[in-house]
Structure 1
Amino acid sequence: MADPMKIRAALQPDGKVLVKVLMSHTMETGQRKDASGKTIPAHFIQHVTVTHKDKTLLSAQWGPAISKNPFLGFRFSGGQKGEKVSVKWVDNKGEERSDEADIT
């Protein structure tokens, strides 16, 4: 399983929650070659879902053009301190990772 995501969710003075997520993933495009000249197989995050109180806040379809260890940042309304924000990704090999953070 991949390393844990680093997730921060902070309630801002305007009442919106700022979410920042750093995902640990190789994000191989399938176009690079290794030292021996063999193509490195594609391995990238395909789907990202963010939820809060069982409601989907964000659903994204990604492809091989996203950088290694991708960063995702966004804001949403309706969150309160102490509530949880959950992030899940699934890659093109079927591997997945889920993590959550409390809103501070």
Structure 2
Amino acid sequence: MAKSIKIRAKEKGGVTTVKALMTHPMETGARKDKKTGKKIPAHFIQEVVCKHKGNTVMTAEWSGGVSKNPYISFKFSGGAKGDEIELSWSDNQGGSDSLSSAIK
């Protein structure tokens, strides 16, 4: 189970609404450590992908300008209750996570 993603997906009237919260520091690389004065290295999610039945229904490409622990919400058509969706992210330091969830 993914440790950094929480996801909810609900279908209503042929449209599925997906809401997800990702735990991630999202450092821009511009801030300085208050104790040492050195810059904190950039560490941010670069890509978020959601798939339904193997087809990509949403792709987001991010940079360091997204806040810590980002929340994302989007809609797509074609999903049905009980179908699985998979949400995954990858960051600029090689980290990644993914989670599958059933549409309710």
Per the normalisation by structure 1, the TM-score is 0.94
For 2:73, the equivalent position in structure 1 comes to 73
1:47-90 Cα shifts (integer Å, max 9, x gaps): 11110000000112110000100011011111111111101111
Task: Name stretches of at least 5 consecutive residues in structure 2 with no aligned partner.
Answer: none
Q: Structure 1 regions of 5+ residues with no counterpart?
A: none
* Displacement after TM superposition at 1:92 (Å): 0.2
For 2:8 and 2:60, how far apart are their aligned partners in 1?
Answer: 19
Instruction: State the number of aligned residues.
Output: 102
Number of the residue aligned with 1:43 = 43
| In structure 2, distance between residues paired with 1:32 and 1:80 | 44
3-state SS of 2:33 partner: coil
Match of 1:10 in 2: 10
Amino acid at match of 2:72: L
* 4+ runs deviating over 2 angstroms: none
Report the alpha carbon displacement of residue 100 of structure 1 after superposing the two structures with TM.
1.3
Equivalences for residues 64-103 of structure 1 within 5 A: 64-103=64-103
Q: 1:15 offset after TM fit, Å?
A: 1.8
